[in-house]
Amino acid sequence: MTEFWLISAPGDKTCQQTWDKMMAATTRTNNLSTNHKFSIPDLKVGTLDVLVGLSDELAKLDSFVESVVKKVAQYMADVLEDSRDKVQENLLANGVDLITYITRFQWDMAKYPIKQSLKNISEIISKQVTQIDNDLKTRASAYNNLKGNLQNLERKNAGSLLTRSLADIVKKEDFVLDSEYLITLLVVVPKTAYPDWQKAYETLAEMVVPRSSNLLFEDNDSGLFSVTLFRKAIDDFKHKAREQKFTVREFQYNEEEMKADKEEMTRLSTDKKKQFGPLVRWLKVNFSEAFIAWIHIKALRVFVESVLRYGLPVNFQAMLLQPSKKTMKKLREVLNDLYKHLDSSAAAIIDSAMDIPGLNLSQQEYYPYVYYKIDCNLLDFKV
């Protein structure tokens, strides 16, 4: 399970007692979750008005930063293309996997100095993650353009003989060039119609050069034949060929153009390889930065909400629970029993919701204790 519940409850005589009670209720007899203390430093409280306003701002910031974390993770998966199984090992926070980072969370005093006000800390995070989001848009746009142009060229050189580029198939010696009277056409013929072509091509128009047709290339369905005729017979030949289900490709042999196409393909391919390494490094670094910022926001939210609910002086224990899929419902019931005395109205809502089928409270997810969910599964696909 990659889902964690970050909760807090007021300190009893000591915060250790709060922790021991929760451990006894959730692990001693029934093993409902794996639990860790979640360390939040002594932050500056400020005024009640500021805390109330900050509570709403942090909720929005939480959603925004989570979306950026997911965007960076998803783009990492897109960039790694064929190595999607390697995505998870690149999604690290401070050099460790995400679960280790969360379960051993330590506030980063250097990045987010606790002498600053809570509002200032949230603004530092907001600016930092907005910058990551903007940089991601710029870098992704440049890399996607490059990748798109390369894919378009690759697509031109693949697919059916009716549509694909013929530049890498034909050679100079396949054509009569620089002739005032003669021209070589390229015709796509279905494999099943080879005998018909051989019988008919010399008579599709007047002035077709006898025995001038050669098979130049085949794919699964068709063959590409050359045929030489007089220029004045082109229209007549094309018309008759179409009637017989032979397709004349519009193609002029131009060595410089073909060379330029090949060079463009090489250039794009080289540019993509050059950008790939630095881009993956940037994504790794900034995924880590964004994820770390996100968990600090969760810590800020627990702090603000705990002070608003449990009052001053600051006295609460933050705890990180990792439930298993099977135990979630039972764990929720045990926590509600343990903490219902903290907020009787919330407990009443929860009790009535359990009695009324179809009433879904998950939208607001309000409980008698402070609760925030952290889900480390950040990708749309399972790696």
Q: Write out pLDDT tens, residues 116-147.
A: 999 999 999 999 999 999 999 999 999 999 99
* Whether residue 59 has pLDDT greater than 90: yes
Q: Which residue has the higher pLDDT, 5 or 261?
A: 5
Region 340-367 average pLDDT: 61
pLDDT band at 101 (very low <50, low <70, confident <90, very high): very high
Cα gap 142→106, rounded to integer Å: 36
pLDDT band at 359 (very low <50, low <70, confident <90, very high): very low
Fill in the DSSP letter of residue 379.
S
Lowest mean pLDDT among 260-264, 268-272, 355-359, 367-371: 355-359
Which listed CATH number (3.20.20.70, 3.40.50.1100, 3.30.70.100, 3.40.50.2300) goes with 172-252?
3.30.70.100
Q: Write out pLDDT tens, residues 292-332.
A: 999 999 999 999 999 999 999 999 999 999 998 899 999 99
- DSSP state string for 99-128: HHHHHT----TTTS-TTS-HHHHHHHHHHH
Would you kindly state where each structural domain of the chain is located, as residue ranges? Answer: 3-18+34-150+269-323+343-375, 172-252
Lowest mean pLDDT among 87-96, 257-266, 365-374: 257-266
pLDDT band at 366 (very low <50, low <70, confident <90, very high): confident
Residues facing residue 224 across a β-bridge: 188, 217
Beta strand segments in the chain, E: 3-10, 33-37, 92-93, 96-97, 182-190, 214-218, 222-230, 247-249, 316-323, 370-375
Lowest mean pLDDT among 31-45, 91-105, 130-144, 356-370: 356-370
Half-sphere exposure of 34 (CA within 13 A, CB side): 11
Q: How far is CA 289 from CA 91, 124, 126, 320, in A?
A: 11, 12, 12, 21
Region 86-93 average pLDDT: 91
Please state which CATH class domain 3-18+34-150+269-323+343-375 belongs to. Answer: mainly alpha
- DSSP state string for 303-354: HHHHHHHH-SS--EEEEEEEE-GGGHHHHHHHHHHHHGGG-HHHHHHHHHHH
Region 204-217 average pLDDT: 96
φ, ψ dihedrals at 114, nearest 5°: -80, -5
Most confident of 56-70, 263-277, 349-363: 56-70
Predicted local distance difference test score (pLDDT) of residue 34: 95
User: What's the whole-number average pLDDT of the chain?
Assistant: 91
Q: Which residue has the higher pLDDT, 1 or 283?
A: 283
Counting every residue, how long is the chain?
A: 383
Region 88-96 average pLDDT: 93
Predicted local distance difference test score (pLDDT) of residue 383: 38
Q: Write out pLDDT tens, residues 252-290.
A: 888 888 888 889 889 999 999 999 999 999 999 999 999
Q: Return contacts of 195-199, CB within 8 angstroms, 24+ apart.
A: 196/244, 197/225, 197/246
Predicted local distance difference test score (pLDDT) of residue 86: 83
pTM recorded for the entire structure:
0.81
